[in-house]
Amino acid sequence: MNTNRLSKTLAAALNAQMTKEAHASQIYLAYASWADNKGYGGIANFLFRHAEEERNHMMKILEYILKRGAEVKISAIPAPHENPASINSCFEKIFSHEVENTREVYKLVKMSLEEEDWATWNFMQWFVKEQIEEETLAKSLMDKMKIAGGEKVSSNALYSLDRDLEKTPDDARSALDVTAANP
Ligand code: FEO
């Protein structure tokens, strides 16, 4: 008896999104390592924590594919983009990446709607909400940077920003609570 409750198309799209979340995690890891190397330990700490959150997003999709009886395909994760040239550009890249990820999430919502797969549509609503938080978080980084002077930021302002981000909670707390065992 066939117990697979996902269409081939949706299973492939969910597997692809799972890899995109893993890719996002690698990007945050790369930027965090870059920031740490430049001496910005607070910013690095913030980005390392976010890399973990992206991994949780990946696991959430993986668990869903399994729950629906479809096959999980673990594939190669593309290399992260080049390191940013400045903290300002780092935050801009993060924002663009999150907007791009939102577009991918919307594609999955549209596909599940067209297939009338309401379980997947419902599952994807979590990601729609999560992306609002992710974009807000990335935008807040850019706002802080803008106030601090953007590309012309002084070392004093950068010092304060780095210290603040060390303690800044990740606003998207709901994702932090998600694990493979508790999706
Ligand atoms: Fe998994 Fe930053 O979105």
Tens of pLDDT, residues 12-27: 999 999 999 999 999 9
* Alpha-carbon span 61 to 123, nearest angstrom: 9
Pocket of ligand 1 (CB under 6 A): 21, 24, 54, 57, 98, 101, 134
In this prediction the pTM is: 0.90
Question: 175 lies in a domain?
Answer: no
Predicted local distance difference test score (pLDDT) of residue 177? 59
CATH number at residue 157: 1.20.1260.10
Residue 179 pLDDT class (50, 70, 90 cuts) = low
Give the Å distance between the CA of 154 and the centre of ligand 1.
Answer: 30
- The overall average pLDDT reported for the chain is 92
Question: 51 lies in a domain?
Answer: yes
Burial group, residue 14, by CB count within 10 angstroms (0-12, 13-18, 19+): buried
Atom 1 of ligand 1, nearest CA residue: 54
* Mean pLDDT, residues 31-58 taken together: 96
Predicted local distance difference test score (pLDDT) of residue 176? 53
* Alpha-carbon span 125 to 105, nearest angstrom: 9
Give the Å distance between the CA of 107 and the centre of ligand 1.
Answer: 15
* Mean pLDDT, residues 109-137 taken together: 97
Question: 55 lies in a domain?
Answer: yes
User: Does position 142 have pLDDT exceeding 90, yes or no?
Assistant: yes
Predicted local distance difference test score (pLDDT) of residue 55? 97
Question: 159 lies in a domain?
Answer: yes
Q: What is the pLDDT of residues 27-38, one digit of tens each?
A: 999 999 999 999
3-state secondary structure 29-72: HHHHHHHHHCCCHHHHHHHHHHHHHHHHHHHHHHHHHHHCCCCC
* Mean pLDDT, residues 88-105 taken together: 97
Better pLDDT: 167 or 162: 162
* Mean pLDDT, residues 68-96 taken together: 96
Question: 181 lies in a domain?
Answer: no
Supply the range of the domain harboring residue 74.
8-170
Give the Å distance between the CA of 98 and the centre of ligand 1.
Answer: 6
Predicted local distance difference test score (pLDDT) of residue 169? 66
Helix then strand then coil, in percent of the chain rounded to 5, is 75, 0, 25
Question: 68 lies in a domain?
Answer: yes
Predicted local distance difference test score (pLDDT) of residue 168? 74
Percentage, residues of the chain above pLDDT 70: 92
* Alpha-carbon span 96 to 74, nearest angstrom: 25
End-to-end CA distance of the chain, in Å?
Answer: 27
User: Does position 56 have pLDDT exceeding 50, yes or no?
Assistant: yes
Contact between 4 and 70 (Cβ < 8 Å): yes
Question: 3 lies in a domain?
Answer: no
* Alpha-carbon span 88 to 144, nearest angstrom: 10
Q: Give the nearest ligand 1 atom to 21 CA.
A: 1
Number of domains within the chain = 1
Predicted local distance difference test score (pLDDT) of residue 172? 44
